[in-house]
Amino acid sequence: MKKRMLLTLMLVLCVAILCACQSGGTKYTVVETNKPQAPAQATQNLNLAGNQTPAEVADFDDGSYDPTSEEGRGEDLGDFSEVPAVPVTVAPTVRSDYAGATPVLLDPIDKPTPTPVPPISFTYQAYDATKLHLAFEAPVGWVVDDSVADTYILRNPDPSMAYTASLTLTATKVSSQMNKSALEDQVEAMLDAIGDGADVKSFSPSKTADRPLMDQTGVYANYTGVLDNGEQIAGRVHATCVNKVLYTVHVTYPRAYRDTYVDTVYDTLRKTMNITQ
């Protein structure tokens, strides 16, 4: 009897303890160890500013991102000696449909450089063309020829030149004062006469242009040509009219010395040429 009462009492205590555990205390989640778990997803740090979403972040590959903008950021890593930059040769861009094609020379950049000619220079002296009532300066020692009326010629006596450079001046009285249009016709007629020379194989004149001569309206033009013997020549003709007198200048020279004759000989003549009484 006592044993039965003791078992009953113990049963009641167990029930009371079980009820207390269910109404309070810590609860634990039961983990099933035999059930496969899904792999954890990696978290990406998008460095979003404010309330931006990933769709609002600029794509660094759109061409607007400048990598050098990040230089100088971050920690100070100490003082390092600067390594000299190695020059990088940029490979030329070649279109695939032109690959293997023969390069085409670009005029005048890629053309072979002409063989340089020995430089020449001049000193100047005064010349008096009394028959033409003109005075001017030209290179020292040039040979004078005034055998033809109203014409005065100076020739370069340098024997090393295959083509003799020369200055020819003329003064011709006209019936009326010539205007610009008439001077243009005169210059074109002079070019035609030079191009029709017996020893001229080919001839290429320029268009006419305005330039004063002796402080009066003037017209000039340039030309290049090739003689029968292969010599390449060039020159300039210039005309003006003063008090019903037509004055013309013709300078001709080896084509290779264009800068020397135009920029020095011709310019000196033009700046110093004046009418005398």
In this predicted structure, what is the pLDDT of residue 277? 77
- Of residues 250, 246, 272, the one with CA closest to residue 262: 250
Task: Judge whether residue 130 has pLDDT over 50.
Answer: yes
In this predicted structure, what is the pLDDT of residue 196? 96
Of 52-66, 87-101, 204-218, which range is least confident? 52-66
In this predicted structure, what is the pLDDT of residue 11? 72
Stronger pLDDT, 31 or 191, i.e. the higher one: 191
Task: Judge whether residue 63 has pLDDT over 50.
Answer: no
In this predicted structure, what is the pLDDT of residue 276? 94
Confidence of residue 91 (pLDDT cuts 50, 70, 90): low
Can you say how many angstroms the Cα of residue 242 is from the centroid of all Cα atoms in its chain? 43
Residue 184 resides in a domain = yes
Residue 137 resides in a domain = yes
Task: Judge whether residue 68 has pLDDT over 50.
Answer: no
Q: How far apart, in whole angstroms, are the C-alpha atoms of residue 242 and residue 36?
A: 113
Range of the domain at 186: 124-275
Of 114-118, 122-126, 132-136, 222-226, which range is least confident? 114-118
Residue 3 resides in a domain = no
**Angstrom distances, CA of residue 222 to CA of 45, 67, 122, 163:** 74, 56, 22, 18
- CATH code for the domain of 203: 3.40.1000.10
Confidence of residue 228 (pLDDT cuts 50, 70, 90): very high
Residue 22 resides in a domain = no
Number of domains in the chain: 1
pLDDT (tens digit per residue) in 39-50: 545 444 444 444
Residue 182 resides in a domain = yes
